[in-house]
């Protein structure tokens, strides 16, 4: 018996290592998002407290990670490298807003340059999408990470430890992150993350279209 066993059976095997950086990040964000969506459906179909109260943590971690990877995917496609900001969703969003949205998609000079090498240029617009709402939702996610981390880890600085609250539940100071009752509606969670994911996917699509010859 082996954990990493190559059976040669295509119908029951996963294949990785063949992707370039762009495809690797695409696969990651899609994998985490779709896995979380599937777990939400399983939790709701089962409906027992045991399932509803335990599935929430892998779901939240997966949703959060798909958003983090989505932001990094956009930046990588536009700038050719990963952004600074570690795991901080707000810092990553602000980098994408500055460098990709304001510096490229909504930059008239940059768009004029795109027209010089695109044979069939199609203009895209982010009008009608509330970028303020996107930041507000990411802020809600980020602040939940930081507030509970800092409360349970008073001796540590908040650096790249974001999302630890959804992975471990107990801090390195041996304290529970959550000491009061909380309730999260699964359908509202899925709807909000899907909105964010679709907006970020659209921003990536525009960036990829403009940069492809």
pLDDT in tens, the chain (213 residues): 999 999 999 999 999 999 999 999 999 999 999 999 999 999 999 999 999 999 999 999 999 999 999 999 999 999 999 998 889 999 999 999 999 999 999 999 999 999 999 988 999 999 999 999 999 999 998 888 655 545 545 555 554 455 677 777 777 788 887 778 889 999 999 999 999 999 999 999 999 999 998
pLDDT at 198: 98
DSSP of the chain, one letter per residue?
Answer: --SS-----GGG----S---HHHHHHHHHHHHHHHHHHHHHHHHHH--HHHHHHHHHHHHHHHHHHHHHHHHHHHHHHHSSPPSSTT-HHHHHHHHIIIIIIIIIT-HHHHHHHHTT-TT------TTS-HHHHHHHHHHHHHHHHHHHHHH-TTS--SS-TTHHHHTSB-TTS-BS--S-----HHHHHHHHHHHHHHHHHHHHHHHHHH--
Q: Where are the domains of the chain?
A: 19-211
- Asked whether the whole model's pTM tops 0.85, one would answer yes
pLDDT at 178: 77
Per residue in 48-60, pLDDT (tens digit) is: 999 999 999 999 9
Per residue in 162-181, pLDDT (tens digit) is: 567 777 777 778 888 777 88
């Amino acid at each position: 018996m082996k954990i990493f066993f190559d059976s040669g059976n295509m119908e029951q095997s996963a294949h990785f290592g063949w992707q370039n950086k762009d495809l690797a990040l695409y696969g990651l964000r899609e994998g985490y998002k779709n896995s979380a969506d599937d777990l939400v459906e399983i939790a709701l179909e089962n409906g027992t407290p045991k399932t509803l109260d335990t599935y929430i943590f892998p779901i939240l971690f997966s949703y959060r990670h798909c958003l983090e990877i989505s932001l990094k995917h956009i930046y990588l496609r536009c700038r050719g490298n990963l952004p600074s900001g570690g795991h901080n969703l707000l810092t990553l969003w602000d980098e994408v807003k500055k460098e990709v949205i304001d510096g490229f998609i909504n930059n008239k000079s940059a768009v004029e340059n795109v027209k010089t090498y695109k044979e069939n240029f199609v203009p895209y617009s982010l009008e009608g999408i509330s970028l303020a709402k996107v930041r507000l939702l990411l802020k809600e996610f980020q602040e939940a990470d930081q507030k509970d981390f800092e409360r349970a880890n008073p001796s540590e600085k908040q650096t790249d430890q974001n999302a630890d609250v959804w992975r471990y539940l107990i801090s390195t100071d041996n304290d529970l992150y959550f000491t009061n009752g909380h309730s999260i509606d699964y359908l509202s969670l899925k709807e909000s993350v899907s909105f964010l994911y679709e907006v970020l996917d659209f921003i990536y699509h525009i960036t990829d279209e403009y940069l492809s010859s």
